[in-house]
Each structure stands twice: as structure tokens, then as C-alpha cells.
């Protein structure tokens, strides 16, 4: 689950409590920050997870990829452009880590692209600093064998979020456009657990899938395996722009909410121990792109500011005072709100260098009504 | 006159614009210092539950355990009289075009509001919800108890409802019409309305949900979160509320920090 360790000890299961205790012993500073999140939220402070997209290199080309338009391969082959914008380096990541730490933020997700093809992955982990932040990596699992899992653990990665988009082998491979990828995911599940990594399975919910036997089987599998199944709604962004039929409706979302009662399955909007965050844009997550732009979620291609020009604290404040993003809403803004989806599609159409800069997508002049 | 009152306008109580409510029954923010959205795109809205006075009466009587309740016919007559009175006044007629939920409350007085809300009214909401919608759940996420934690907000006029309950059973209509108001703005706005309007608190909101358990159930969109804005919690800028989760109903507590949100609404109540 995205917010894994911000709950009072008394509300945790014994297994969760043991994991937290282990973290306290190994990384007391990180554990203390995580334990403080509930109090931060009670004070009105926010503690978003930072998704870091240092590189968009990927060995897959998935049907629903939200990052495809950020990738060099897409810019070169489709947009026919070279992106000359300055990219982040390890010094930038160290500065981001410092600013995040100052604000009490505690969690980073390394994403992409496929993080495990990054040649400097270990250096990125070090630049974030596993003694200061809880580090998670996304992965498609292709390279995650026993040796790699043990290596991740050894360099300070705490958790792996592994993509599995169908419990039917052929469907997963087709969706991911990568024969053999299902088998690699299954290998990666065992490798991660054996290495003592926390593990989350991540799957994309397209319209109608919540009603299928396949999805029910996947929910059951994850629950029996003792692994959480994180469900992300298909959004009309990135490669999914060409697949509006993937976008879910409220019935899909509500079916999923009912499944949460029986299975270890959840979305980013699922209440954690009674704490309702709703849409987690800014409040629970931000994305830092390879050009140091900050977007409020992985699927919204509007920047809240560039960290070379604006401190993280102000970028977060911009997000929280924006009527679309703050302070609280129960639905997925980019996945469910037709008006925002329309605005987003109009403003990103034809844009070859995403995200749309602050002031052109989001701005302080935004209103909900025309 | 502007179609919507602007939150920054100044407006003395004796110069309240007419009408007070828009064509959807929303109370228009008027001369507020606290934050409320001047306009709404009506994205988070309640839909009108079925008004079957007999069924509402039976649910409230059963789940609040009222032995000497007024009759269903009397309940209907008194609730309809409230609606008619509002319809007859040009300042309030538009309010009746919005969602309206009739309810009644027993003659009762309680030494502690929070304890009564938790042990009597939330339990009744739970049972009424289970009765009407057995396939879904009512969940009280607030496990730390309410005894000693709730006070009636000064200026909310909710004290009038509690006082009325001391002497006799009361009939009222609940209107979730303060949509996109911050909690302080809902309190402030109530003070600018004619005296018949009271800000909804715990007993009245619960009674509305006991009688109409599906008030926050929508399949085609999202209903708003309903603050119990007339109640001050044990901590400043924090409040208690009802909220749908899918087809389920929840009760919870959260900070609001005086902010307005598109998703947030408070209720007004009119008694007979």
C-alpha cells in the first residue's frame, strides 16, 4: 500500500508491527519520520511520497504506459524532436532529498521507465539516502531475480512495486507487449519475498476488468500470498490517450471498493485504518520528472513548478491551494472527473515536451467553474 | 443583483439578498469573511431520496426506539407544513427545489452530546442502514469515543434544536444545501439567515440518515461529504462527518483547517 507505515502501532497487525520494529532497529531516523506522518497530517502538513523519474529508459513498451510521451524513443520516433532540456543529475537528487527531509517527507519511489535498467540505479539510491528516506522501486520484474533482489536489499531499498496486469499469462504478456514477462513477474515475486523486501503487486484496472473472473483470481492470489495488490485506474494520458475505452467509470471503482472488504486489494484512495485521503494528488504523492518538474500525480502532465526555480515547499503549497488538487476529494481527478480530463487532454494535445509548465497547465488563477 | 453572492461581499443581516437560495436549492454565500466557493459546478451532489413518510417514520421510530412517537400522519403533516411555509416565501422558495430530507426526533435530553451521538444516534444510523441496504456497510471509523468531545458551536443555532427536544418531539427537514462552504463559513452563513434556519449538528443529521439511509448513496457520481458543522470537536479546525465510500456509509473525523472544498457540504435544518 502506498502509505504503509504511518499508522499508530496499536492499529497494526502483528506482522506489520514486526516489520516496523525491524525498520526502527535498522533505520531509526527513517522510522521516526514515518511514525510522525499521522501527527503531521493532523497539523495540516502534508507528507507526499516522491516519485522520482530520473530516466525513462525501458525495456518494455506497454499498451497503457503513462510515461511513454516522456521517453526519448517516443520523442525521436514520433515527435521527431530532441529534448534539449536540462536533465537531473545526482547532485539534483541530493538537493531534492535534503529539501524533502527538511519538510519531514520520508518516502521516495524510484520509477521511470524501468528503474532496473538504469546504470546508475545504485548511485540514485545513495543520492536519495536510504538512511534518511524509505526507498521503494517500481519494476516490471524482468531483471528481478534472486541476485538482484538481494542486491536491492543490500543497498537500502525497502520495497518493490511489481507490475502484474493480468493473472492470465498471455493477457499480461500481450498488455505489456513482452512475451515471457508474466513468468519473470512470478520469479520476481518469490525473489523479492526471499530477499526480505516488502512487496506490492501493482495492476492497472481498465474498464470492465473489475467484474472479471481473472481480476477476482488475481485478488485471491495476492491475498493468499500475503502481498498487497495495488490497483491503478487506467487514465487517459500517455499511451492510454489512444485508448479512451480503458478509462473506468464509477461502477468499476465501486466494485473495487466492495472487493476491498474481502481481499488485500486497494487503490491510492482506499482508506488506511480509517484515514481517508481520497485523491492523493500533492497530499499523498508527487512526481519529479527527469527535467526537475513536479507534477501532482503520475498521470497529470501539468507541472506545479521546476525545482531549479522554485523550492519544493512552495511547489507543494501551489498544489495545496489549487482548487482541483487540494484539500480533499474522494475520486480520482484524472481518472474520473470528465471536466478535468477534458481540460487535461486539451492542454496536453500536441505538446512534445511534457509536463506543461506551471502557469500554462495549472496556475494560481485556476477555478473549478468556467 | 448578481446570480451568486460573492464570498468577499459585505452584507448586513438585514440586507440579505432575495432569494437566499439558487435554483438548485444551494444557499448562496453572502458577505462572508470565511471561505466558501461563490459558484459551484455541482459535481459532488446528493440526489433526492424517496420521500415515503410512512417508511421514514417507521425507521426513525424503530431504530431510535421511540415508544411514544408521533404518528406517521402527524409527521407527514408537520413536515409538509415546513416545506409549504418555505415555498410560500420568495426568499426561501428555491430551497425546496434542492434535496430535502424530513425527519423527527424524540423528546429527550442528554447530559453529554457526544455520548448520546455515539451510543444512541450512530447506532441507530448503523441499524437503519443495515436494514435498508443489507448488502453494504455503515462503518464508524472513529474508534476513540465521542463522550466529552463535542460542544455546540456558538451561533450555529443548533442549541435551539437541542432545547426544543427537551420539551417535545420535533419535526424538521434537513437540507444539505451549504455545499462548498468551509465549516467556519457554514457557521457564519447561518448567522446571516432568518432565525428559522439552524446549522445541522449530530442528532438532526443522524435522524435524516436514519429515515433516509440512502441519502449519500449514488451509483452515477459522488455525493458530498457531510460535516456536522454545528458541533465543535475536541480540537480546533477539526470536525466530524458522514461520508460515502462506494455504496457504504462512514462516520469519521478529520481536520478541515477552515478550508472550503468542492467535496464538502454542511446542512441546514428547519423545524416546525
Where residue A183 falls (left for φ over 0; alpha for ψ -120 to 50; beta otherwise) is: alpha
Pick the residue from chain B with its C-alpha nearest to A270.
Answer: B245
Binned at pLDDT 50, 70 and 90, residue B260 comes out as: very high
Q: Does A326 touch chain B (CB under 8 A)?
A: yes
Output the nine-digit C-alpha cell for A215: 481480476
Cβ of A274 within 8 Å of Cβ of B219? The answer is no
Pick the residue from chain B with its C-alpha nearest to A257.
Answer: B246
Q: Considering CB atoms only, which of A41, A278, A327 is closest to B259?
A: A327
**Angstroms from A326 CA to nearest CA on chain B:** 8
Interface list for A 31-90 with B (CB within 8 A): 41-44
Split into its structural domains, chain B has a count of 1
Whether A4 is covered by a domain: the verdict is no
Whether B2 is covered by a domain: the verdict is no
| Residue A133's CATH number | 3.20.20.70
Whether A364 is covered by a domain: the verdict is no
Q: Does B4 touch chain A (CB under 8 A)?
A: no
> pLDDT for A294-346, tens place per residue?
999 999 999 999 999 999 999 999 999 999 997 789 999 998 899 999 999 99
Q: Does B263 touch chain A (CB under 8 A)?
A: yes
Q: Considering CB atoms only, which of B39, B137, B220 is closest to A250?
A: B220
DSSP secondary-structure letter at B93? Answer: G
Question: Which residues in A lie closer than 8 A to residue B248 (C-beta atoms)?
Answer: 257
Complex-level ipTM: 0.87
A68-77, A149-158, A209-218, B149-158: which has the minimum mean pLDDT?
A68-77
Q: Does A245 touch chain B (CB under 8 A)?
A: no
* Domain enclosing residue A293, as ranges: 9-348
Whether B3 is covered by a domain: the verdict is no
d(CA B214, CA B122): 15
Whether A64 is covered by a domain: the verdict is yes
Interface test with chain B among A37, A259, A276, by most B beta carbons within 10 Å: A276
Whether B5 is covered by a domain: the verdict is no
> pLDDT for A9-67, tens place per residue?
665 678 778 888 999 999 999 999 999 998 898 888 899 999 999 999 999 988 878 88
DSSP secondary-structure letter at B41? Answer: -
Split into its structural domains, chain A has a count of 1
Cβ of B143 within 8 Å of Cβ of A274? The answer is yes
Q: How many CB atoms lie within 10 A of CB A293?
A: 26
CB A52 within 8 Å of CB A108:
yes
Q: How many CB atoms lie within 10 A of CB B223?
A: 23
CB B260 within 8 Å of CB B182:
yes
Whether B17 is covered by a domain: the verdict is yes
pLDDT of amino acid A18: 87
Whether A365 is covered by a domain: the verdict is no
**Angstroms from B255 CA to nearest CA on chain A:** 6
CB A104 within 8 Å of CB A143:
no
pLDDT of amino acid A277: 72
Task: Tell me whether the omega of the peptide bond preceding residue A165 falls within 30 degrees of 0, making it cis.
Answer: no
Question: At residue B12, does pLDDT exceed 80?
Answer: no
Please, which residues have CB within 8 angstroms of residue B143's CB and are 6 or more apart in sequence? A274
Interface list for B 39-68 with A (CB within 8 A): 39-41, 43-44
**Angstroms from A69 CA to nearest CA on chain B:** 30
Q: What is the mean pLDDT of chain B?
A: 93
* Domain enclosing residue B161, as ranges: 13-271
Binned at pLDDT 50, 70 and 90, residue B11 comes out as: very low
Sequence-ordered strand ranges (E) for chain A: 49-52, 107-110, 134-139, 157-163, 198-205, 228-233, 265-266, 285-288, 294-295
Cβ of B43 within 8 Å of Cβ of A368? The answer is yes
Whether A285 is covered by a domain: the verdict is yes
Whether A368 is covered by a domain: the verdict is no
**Angstroms from A191 CA to nearest CA on chain B:** 36
Question: Which residues in A lie closer than 8 A to residue B262 (C-beta atoms)?
Answer: 323, 329, 368
**What is the dihedral sign for C-alpha B83, B87, B92, B98?**
positive
CB B5 within 8 Å of CB B180:
no
Whether A296 is covered by a domain: the verdict is yes
Q: Does B141 touch chain A (CB under 8 A)?
A: yes
Cβ of B252 within 8 Å of Cβ of A276? The answer is yes
- A323-355 burial, b if ≥16 CB within 10 A, otherwise e? bbbbbbbbbbbbbbbeebbeebeeebeeeebbb
Top-confidence residue, A1 or A237 = A237
Pick the residue from chain A with its C-alpha nearest to B223.
Answer: A330
Amino acid at each position: 500500500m502506498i502509505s504503509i507505515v504511518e499508522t499508530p502501532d496499536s492499529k497494526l497487525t502483528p506482522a506489520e508491527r514486526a516489520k516496523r520494529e525491524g525498520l526502527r532497529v535498522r533505520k531509526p531516523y527513517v522510522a521516526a519520520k514515518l511514525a510522525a506522518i499521522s501527527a503531521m497530517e493532523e497539523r495540516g502538513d502534508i507528507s507526499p511520497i516522491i516519485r522520482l523519474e530520473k530516466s525513462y529508459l525501458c525495456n518494455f513498451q506497454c499498451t497503457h504506459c503513462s510515461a511513454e510521451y516522456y521517453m526519448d524513443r517516443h520523442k525521436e520516433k514520433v515527435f521527431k524532436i530532441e529534448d534539449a532540456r536540462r536533465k537531473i543529475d545526482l547532485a539534483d537528487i541530493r538537493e531534492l532529498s535534503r529539501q524533502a527531509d527538511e519538510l519531514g517527507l520520508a518516502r521516495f519511489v524510484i520509477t521511470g521507465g524501468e528503474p532496473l535498467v538504469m546504470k546508475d540505479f545504485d548511485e540514485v539510491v545513495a543520492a536519495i539516502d536510504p538512511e534518511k528516506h524509505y526507498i521503494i522501486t517500481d519494476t516490471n520484474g524482468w531483471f528481478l531475480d534472486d541476485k538482484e533482489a538481494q542486491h536491492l536489499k543490500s543497498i537500502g531499498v525497502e520495497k518493490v512495486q511489481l507490475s502484474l496486469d493480468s493473472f492470465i499469462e498471455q493477457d499480461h504478456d500481450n498488455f505489456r507487449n513482452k512475451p515471457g514477462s508474466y513468468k519473470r513477474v512470478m520469479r520476481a515475486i518469490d525473489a523479492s519475498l526471499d530477499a526480505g523486501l516488502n512487496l506490492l503487486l501493482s495492476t492497472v484496472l481498465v474498464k470492465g476488468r473489475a467484474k472479471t473472473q481473472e481480476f477476482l483470481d488475481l485478488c485471491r492470489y495476492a491475498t493468499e500470498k500475503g502481498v498487497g495488490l495495488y490497483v491503478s485506474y487506467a487514465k487517459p494520458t500517455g499511451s492510454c490517450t489512444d485508448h479512451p475505452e480503458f478509462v473506468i467509470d464509477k461502477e468499476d471503482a465501486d466494485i473495487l471498493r466492495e472487493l476491498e472488504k474481502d481481499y488485500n486489494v486497494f487503490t491510492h484512495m482506499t482508506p488506511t485504518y480509517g484515514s481517508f485521503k481520497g485523491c492523493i494528488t500533492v497530499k499523498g504523492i508527487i512526481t519529479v520528472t527527469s527535467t526537475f518538474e513536479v507534477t501532482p500525480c503520475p498521470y497529470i502532465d501539468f507541472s506545479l513548478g521546476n525545482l531549479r526555480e522554485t523550492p519544493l515547499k512552495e511547489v507543494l503549497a501551489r498544489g495545496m491551494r489549487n482548487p482541483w488538487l487540494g484539500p480533499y476529494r474522494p475520486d480520482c481527478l484524472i481518472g474520473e472527473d470528465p471536466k478535468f480530463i477534458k481540460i487535461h487532454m486539451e492542454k496536453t494535445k500536441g505538446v512534445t515536451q511534457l509536463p506543461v509548465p506551471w502557469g500554462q497547465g495549472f496556475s494560481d488563477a485556476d477555478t473549478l467553474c468556467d | 443583483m448578481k446570480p451568486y453572492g460573492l464570498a468577499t461581499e459585505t452584507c448586513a443581516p438585514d440586507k440579505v439578498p432575495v432569494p437566499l437560495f439558487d435554483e438548485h436549492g444551494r444557499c448562496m454565500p453572502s458577505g462572508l469573511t470565511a471561505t466558501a466557493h461563490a459558484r459551484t459546478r455541482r459535481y459532488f451532489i446528493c440526489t433526492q431520496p424517496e420521500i415515503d413518510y410512512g417508511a421514514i417514520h417507521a425507521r426513525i421510530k424503530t431504530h431510535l426506539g421511540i415508544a411514544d412517537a408521533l404518528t406517521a400522519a402527524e409527521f407527514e403533516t408537520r413536515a409538509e407544513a415546513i416545506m409549504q411555509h418555505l415555498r410560500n416565501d420568495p426568499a426561501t422558495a428555491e430551497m425546496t427545489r434542492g434535496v430535502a430530507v424530513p425527519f423527527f426526533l424524540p423528546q429527550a435530553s442528554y447530559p453529554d452530546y457526544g455520548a448520546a451521538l455515539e451510543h444512541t444516534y450512530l447506532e441507530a444510523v448503523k441499524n437503519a442502514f443495515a436494514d435498508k441496504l443489507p448488502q453494504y456497510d455503515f462503518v464508524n471509523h472513529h474508534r476513540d469515543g465521542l463522550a466529552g468531545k463535542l460542544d455546540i458551536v456558538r451561533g450555529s443555532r443548533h442549541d435551539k434544536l437541542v432545547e426544543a427536544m427537551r420539551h417535545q418531539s420535533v419535526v424538521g427537514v434537513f437540507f444539505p444545501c451549504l455545499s462548498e462552504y468551509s465549516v467556519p463559513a457554514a457557521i457564519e452563513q447561518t448567522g446571516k439567515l432568518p432565525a428559522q434556519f439552524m446549522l445541522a449538528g449530530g442528532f438532526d443529521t443522524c435522524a435524516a440518515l436514519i429515515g433516509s439511509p440512502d441519502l449519500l448513496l449514488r451509483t452515477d457520481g459522488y455525493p458530498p461529504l457531510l460535516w456536522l458543522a454545528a458541533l465543535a470537536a475536541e480540537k480546533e479546525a477539526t470536525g466530524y462527518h458522514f461520508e460515502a465510500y462506494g455504496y457504504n456509509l462512514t462516520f469519521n473525523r478529520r481536520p478541515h483547517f477552515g478550508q472550503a472544498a468542492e467535496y464538502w457540504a454542511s446542512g441546514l435544518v428547519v423545524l416546525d
